[in-house]
Amino acid sequence: MKKILVFAFISTLFMSCQEEDTNFVPQNDTLEKVYGKVTSPSGRTIPNTYVYYDDNGTIYDAYTNQLGEFEIDVPVGNGKLSIQTGNGKLFNSSMDITVVEGETLDLRNANFILNSNSNLAFVPGTYDEIQTIITNLGYQTNELSLDDITNNNLNNINALFLNCSNDSSPISSDSFYLHLNDFVANGNSLYTSDWGLKYLVGDSGYAQDCTTQPAGGFIADDMVCGIRSGAIETLTNNTILNSDLSSYTGTNTIDLEYDLPNWMQLNFIDANFWEVLVEDQNANPLMIKTNNITTSNDNSIWYSDNGNKVTICHVPPGSPENAHSITINVNALDAHLAHGDTIGDCNGSSGNIYYTTFHNHVGGTTNPTIEQMMEYVILNL
């Protein structure tokens, strides 16, 4: 029986591996090293970018370090090196490479840019400016209004950023919440913060308790409740629980400055519905994420780039615990399906929702790590 070969290089800076399937034989099992560097269109280095080489269904992969650099072993010959963040549906790029036996290929000066074929949109807010961070990365974004959501003007939008506003008036339109629900259920993603919790669970005049059910919303009231009770303060030594977010920022802890009174404190969350990304010293959630919105399980939601690419759950042979979501060219889909992979994200059936109790404004009182955290949110929606 042919053995499964696994090549791993793991250090504090780099990680790469190779797998072999008994049904899909690599074109060439002679490997050489490739070095590279990943940046955004504006030239900002991108940590924790997933780098992979797809050789007839066999995946060789690595991650970039804090400098955006990577090292990966790939087969000799002609092929395509790909990069992505998140599941690759919104941000991905590829590069044709030729690897020569006995030679190292250095691409660190080759301008390997993480591109986006997606449409990003934001709703302006009083306190948040996440669109500035998107622009700083070099990506384009479109401005929408809350009325655009009510009127379902979300065609071709893949990610939506709802900045926090000081407008405390409730949203009375059921259509607003229905369209947001359908938006996420169809594989698209959104982010909001602080008082923007009302965009998710509805609003009841910000009653200072968690017994009154908010009016509206598309996430059930028993999934999360926030109370406008936070004081102006700096919370120190908060823990970043998510390993990918920690790898992107290069730290496990962060101090968060709350520069406005009555910020939304999360009184409770359903831990089966939400993943806590950041918590304070008392284990109170400060940043959460979910991808558990009910969908129709229609595989068409995972096709992108005008149908030229598709997101799949790649399951390494003999190593299902290391399953990884990647976005591939549709021409490679049949090989992956025969290999045991499936269409769709490994970790959920819908798009992602990110929520932060803290703001994202640039040039305000927040520290640089918060901007990195917001970069992570943007690139991993």
- Rg of the chain over all Cα atoms, to the nearest angstrom: 21
Tens place of pLDDT per residue across the chain (381 aa): 333 333 333 333 344 444 433 334 445 679 999 999 999 999 999 999 999 999 988 899 999 999 999 999 999 999 999 999 999 999 999 999 999 999 999 999 998 999 998 999 999 998 889 999 999 999 999 999 999 999 999 988 999 999 998 777 778 789 999 999 999 999 999 999 999 999 999 986 555 678 878 889 999 999 999 998 999 999 999 999 999 999 999 999 999 989 888 899 999 999 999 999 999 999 999 999 999 998 877 888 899 988 999 999 999 888 888 899 999 999 999 999 998 999 999 887 799 999 999 998 766 655 788 999 999 999 999
Give the per-residue pLDDT at 13: 39
- The rounded Cα 19 to chain-centroid distance in angstroms is 25
What is the spatial distance between Cα 286 and Cα 169, in angstroms, rounded to a whole number? 24
Residues 6+ apart with CB under 8 A from 152: 175, 179
Amino acid at 172: S
Task: List the one residue out of 179, 177, 180, 161 whose CA is nearest residue 120.
Answer: 161
Whose tokens are 């590069």? That residue is 95
The whole-angstrom separation of Cα 126 and Cα 133 is: 16
184 contacts 350 by C-beta, under 8 angstroms = yes
Contact 120, 142 (CB under 8 A): yes
pLDDT of residue 14: 40
What CATH class has 120-295+349-379? alpha beta
What pLDDT is recorded for position 347? 83
- Dist CA 176 CA 147 (whole Å): 8
Per-domain residue ranges for the chain? 7-116+299-343, 120-295+349-379
Confidence (pLDDT) at 142: 96
Count helices and strands (H / E) in the chain.
7, 24
Q: Which residues are paired to 61 by β-bridges?
A: 17, 52
d(CA 38, CA 2): 35
> Which CATH architecture is the domain 7-116+299-343 placed in?
Sandwich (2.60)
pLDDT of res. 17: 43
Q: What is the pTM of this model?
A: 0.89
pLDDT at 372: 93
What's the CA angle centered on 347, arms 343 and 350, to 5 degrees? 75
* Domains 7-116+299-343 and 120-295+349-379 alike in fold: no
> Are 92 and 114 within 8 A, CB to CB?
yes
Q: What is the pLDDT of residue 365?
A: 56
What is the number of other CB atoms lying within 10 angstroms of the CB of residue 180? Answer: 26
How is residue 98 written in tokens?
């030729």
SS (H, E, C) 60-72: EEEECCCCCEEEE
- The full length of the chain comes to 381
The confidence score (pLDDT) of residue 241 equals 98
**What is the rounded distance in angstroms from the CA atom of residue 305 to the CA atom of residue 118?**
7
